[in-house]
Structures are given as C-alpha cells and as structure tokens.
Amino acid sequence: MERLSKTKTAIVLFNLGGPDCPEAVEPFLFNLFNDKAIIGAPGPIRWLLAKYISKKRAPVAREIYAHLGGRSPLLPQTEAQAKALELALGEGYRCFIAMRYWHPLTDETVTAVKAWAPDEIILLPLYPQFSGTTVGSSMGEWHREARRQGLNVPTRGICCYPDHRDLIAGFADLVGKGFAEASVTGRPRVLFSAHGLPKTVIEAGDPYQAQVEITAKAVVEGLNLPGLDWVVCYQSRVGPMEWIGPSTESELQRAGRDKVPVVVVPIAFVSEHSETLVELDIEYRHRAVEWGVPAYVRVAALGCHPRFIAALAELIVHPVAIGAGFCKRAGRTCPGVGLAC
C-alpha cells in the first residue's frame, strides 16, 4: 500500500488506556469517572463523584492489576498494533496513540502529531462498535485539544466498522479454533461477551448494543456452522443502575445447567486487558467451574491478527470501500462524529 507521493498521513489510534503502575490506578480511575460521557453530572458534582468513586474503587482495582504485574498491558499491545499497521500501509503513514484516561493522553498526542506536521490526520478508534462513551468521548476530546493547540490539518474520523469483512474474518478464524477445542467435551455454545452499558445510555440512542449484535451475527455467518448455539451477552457491570443484558455471568450459569461447554469471545475488545485477562480468564472461568460448565475456552482478542490489521489498513486507504449506514442498519441515528460513512 505504499504511496508514490510524499504526502504525510498521521493515523491516531484511540483506546481506553490503563495504569502503568500501582500508583497510577487511582488517577486513572479519576480520569475515567470525571469524563462527562461516563458521568453526566455538572462539572463540580462530577469532579466530586469521580474523586469519591476512584478512591473507593482503587484498592480493588489494584488487586486486579496485581494479576497483570501491577500495570495494564494495553499500551504495549496498542504499540504492537500501530507498528503492524505502519508496516501494512508503507511509507508516508505514521501511527500515533491517544489513550483516553492514561498516558499517552490526548494532549500529548496532539502535540506529537503537530510536531510531525502531517498533511492529513485520520482518527481511528480501536473500538469496532460505536458508543458515545468510547469513540464519541475520544473524538470529542481530540477536537477540543486540537483547537486548543492550533492543530489545523484536514482531519477525517472513522466512527465504526462493526462488520468489516476482514474484521469478521479475523474473529471467525479465532472463534473457529476455540470452537474446535471446546468440541472435545460436547457441542459448544458460543458466548459473544461485550462490555456492558447502562440501559439508559442505549435508550438515549447510543448504537453500541445494536452494532455489537451486528458483529456477532456476521461472525456466526462467517463460521458457517449449521445449528450453532450462540448468544450475545455483556460483562463488567458496576453500580446500581439497570444494565443491558443478558449478563455473561447469567449465560455461564445457564450453560452450567444445560451442561454445555462454552466458547467465550471478547467481541468488542481488540486487545487484551484487565477485562479479558482477569475478568474473563480468572473470575468468570472460576465461576464456570463452580456452576458445572463442562469446558471453558476463551478466545484471544484480535491483537495483531493479519485480517484485523488488513481491516484497519483498508479503513484508512479505501474509506469508501467499507460501505455506509452502519447506524441506519442497526436502527439508530448516526451520532455524526465520523466522516467515513
């Protein structure tokens, strides 16, 4: 995909971020809960709530990250994806990483991009499905910071790609291998597990749940396994609000009652982090054993899978080829933050 011209394109990869040491856990959580896309209260109240919640949750979160050596693996994995994407694209492209809640934060990345002086900028979230709490928040922060720093470069945003053919092919490849492994103990049920959201967010028009279902359905079609038993479910519920469901835990309990092995697929995560390596691999696996699930196979996140990197490269080089109208097909109104559709 190398270009003959000397045009410079900066690709900004958005992701959540994670603490890089135990001392960073509480400020990371504060940044998360101080985001108005997460807690919609007025600024001063949100700040106080973020201070309270982050302080209260920090000890438990530090225990979680202790399983991972005291830090999140998300940044090094995103760096590996950035290098793979640069290699796929060739000369003239450079990837930058902007994490929403921990370093490198958006302001740092805007400074780095401005210093490189690109001819164009492409904002590429590492979230296949759009949500205002992830993609919307990251893009909004980018545009605010770019204005503040005077970064005036033509910019294009890619807001979602829930059923891009190469994304689906990568998922299908990994799920197929997991399905074969679990089949040793019987006909498996595939649990497509995604991070949950409060119902109020979805009822307000956020297309995330509908797009997760689009992705899962496309993977099932790509697997071409007649009679496949599968379900979309949601993990990581916090707080007293009603969340979208069914929950991953309830589906594991059902699998235990039905005595069927499960293949657990992180359908909304493209990198390994605490919710896959701890929540899925340790906590949910332990509960699955307690509930009598015959076998528990967790499919790896896409990471640097060649088909996933190919999907990202096509989104950048041939934006028209990805098709349009994901939100419309999902029965939602486009939030309007991306230009690829």
**DSSP-assigned letters across all residues of 244-275:** -S-BHHHHHHHHHHHT--EEEEETT-SS--HI
pLDDT one-digit tens code per residue, 11-58: 999 999 999 999 999 999 999 999 998 888 898 999 999 999 999 999
Show me where the domains of the chain are located: 9-161+307-329, 165-298
Query: Would you say 79 is a known binding-site residue?
Result: no
**3-state helix/strand/coil string of 111-123:** HHHHHHCCCEEEE
Higher pLDDT, 339 or 10: 10
Q: 14 φ, ψ to 5°?
A: -95, 135
Which two structure tokens, joined as six digits, stand for 268?
A: 């909304």
Q: Is 318 annotated as a binding residue?
A: no
Whether the per-residue pLDDT at 89 is higher than 50: the answer is: yes
Fold matches, 9-161+307-329 and 165-298: yes
List pLDDT tens digits, range 91-106: 999 999 999 999 999 9
- Report pLDDT digits (tens) over 170-219: 999 999 999 999 999 999 999 999 999 999 999 999 999 999 999 999 99
- What are the strands of the beta sheet with 296-298, ordered from one edge? 229-235, 189-195, 262-266, 296-298
By C-alpha distance, which of 194, 65, 86 is closest to 134? Answer: 194
Class of the domain covering 9-161+307-329: alpha beta
CATH code that applies to domain 165-298 = 3.40.50.1400
pLDDT in tens, 105-119: 999 999 999 999 999
pLDDT digits (tens, 9 = 90+) for 208-264: 999 999 999 999 999 999 999 999 999 988 777 899 999 999 999 999 999 999 999
